[in-house]
Copies of this chain bind each other. A is one copy, B any other.
């Protein structure tokens, strides 16, 4: 079952918009085991669209077109498909009424052009999901092979708006493709997010398990380095029912977690920030931050998560050394030291009135500072009162990369250390 993706829009060719839809669709197809051998971008030109769709149908069984379903004159995907199918475009009254009703319910005036979106090639049907105004199309095609025989193929058309496209892909197109391909197997994946070891170190730890899986072929493992989002380990499993796949994923997750231990900080959409905020919330702890080279990025990443306010008190961005000395009461002297980092965290804890405090001071680059190369970063984590029942830990990191990468790696590494401290304290209780 070969499927091609055709992304439609002159703005894509001109580089005004980067086509991310094709990548996403390609990933989804791969996950359900459908081959996708070509992806093409073509402009809003009827002849070239017809040629591109025809070529795609000649070498694949299904074509997914993205874009060109809007209400303007440029939006000619409907015409192009009708021409490839050799049929007329007709207006669908029910869809016309539905579009009119959509505008009415939002209290907006409907431009008459929008009724063009209710047209479809004879023999095609609308895709059930319609999150925006543009309906998607499912168009069966009887493709004439060179020897004159007819092969049943299909063209799907979805809007270029990513969330509309995704809803139609998940709800209708992927299941329809699987059915056409006779794929009764269910395929699903789960991503474990890790931090603390390199990709090659992870591969070494998982070496024996990967060999075992290679011989069975199911489930499979893949690695993906994703910067400050962590290093991802993706488990993909195939089975006959959703329940059996779910069970296979759960089993393999246990095996991998057993091997990687606390390197795994989250699953799927978890981020280090969301995980740490959740851990603090469960323990009833508030957090304060003192940051220097990150300039506010630690606070910004934490506060990007809705609901952060129940944990995050704030951050003191002490970019200038005097602010460290005067406000955070860091001892006068060099500021890229673990002593300074500890004083910063204690200062943030005091000024922000938080239970827990974390800090980072270092050299983002491009220039060196205090004799340290870019990438040298001192961090501290303080939990409770370190003089009594609490704890304080400091560390000096050597982070790779340029200014942006050093700042980003500081954020995830420091939050990762806080996570490990919280786990350690749990174990000590």
A positions within 8 Å CB-CB of B: 12-20, 22-28, 30, 36-43, 45, 48, 52, 55, 224, 286, 289, 291, 293-304, 306, 308-309, 312-320, 322-323, 326-327, 351-353, 365-367, 403-404, 407
Contacts and interface: CB of A to CB of B under 8 A. Distances in A.
Nearest to A27: B15
A139 to B, nearest CB: 22
Contact of A314 (B306, B320, B352): B320
Query: Which of A15, A289, A306 gathers most chain B CB within 10 Å?
Result: A15
Given A38-B42, A296-B298, 4 more contacts: A15-B24, A17-B23, A38-B48, A303-B317
B320 A312 contact: yes
B306 A295 contact: no
Query: Which of A18, A41, A52 gathers most chain B CB within 10 Å?
Result: A41
A294 to B, nearest CB: 7
B15 A26 contact: yes
Contacts of A24: 15
25 contacts: A12-B26, A15-B25, A15-B26, A15-B30, A19-B19, A37-B42, A37-B43, A38-B52, A295-B303, A295-B308, A296-B296, A296-B303, A297-B300, A304-B407, A306-B366, A306-B367, A308-B319, A313-B320, A314-B316, A314-B320, A315-B315, A315-B317, A316-B316, A320-B352, A323-B352
A14 B27 CA distance: 5
Given A15-B24, A40-B38, A351-B327, A312 B308 contact: no
A13 B318 CA distance: 45
Given A15-B26, A38-B48, A319 B323 contact: no
A318 B314 contact: yes
Query: Which of A25, A26, A298 gathers most chain B CB within 10 Å?
Result: A26
A19 to B, nearest CB: 7
A306 B367 CA distance: 9
A41 B38 contact: yes
B52 A30 contact: no
B309 A314 contact: no
Contacts of A404: 304
A309 B318 CA distance: 10
Contacts of A224: 16
Contacts of A296: 289, 291, 295-301, 303, 315, 317
A296 B313 CA distance: 12
A384 B419 CA distance: 42
A182 to B, nearest CB: 22
Contacts of A293: 303
A95 B28 CA distance: 41
A23 B19 contact: yes
Contacts of A289: 296, 317
A313 B322 CA distance: 8
Contacts of A314: 316-320, 323, 327
Contacts of A353: 322-323, 326
A300 B295 contact: yes
A54 to B, nearest CB: 12
Nearest to A42: B38
A284 to B, nearest CB: 15
A317 B316 contact: yes
Contact of A352 (B23, B28, B315, B327): B327
A54 B417 CA distance: 54
Closest 4 CB pairs of A and B: A295-B303, A296-B299, A296-B296, A15-B27
A158 to B, nearest CB: 16
Contacts of A13: 26, 30, 36-39
A53 to B, nearest CB: 13
Contacts of A36: 13-14
A323 B317 contact: no
A183 B258 CA distance: 63
A14 B41 contact: no
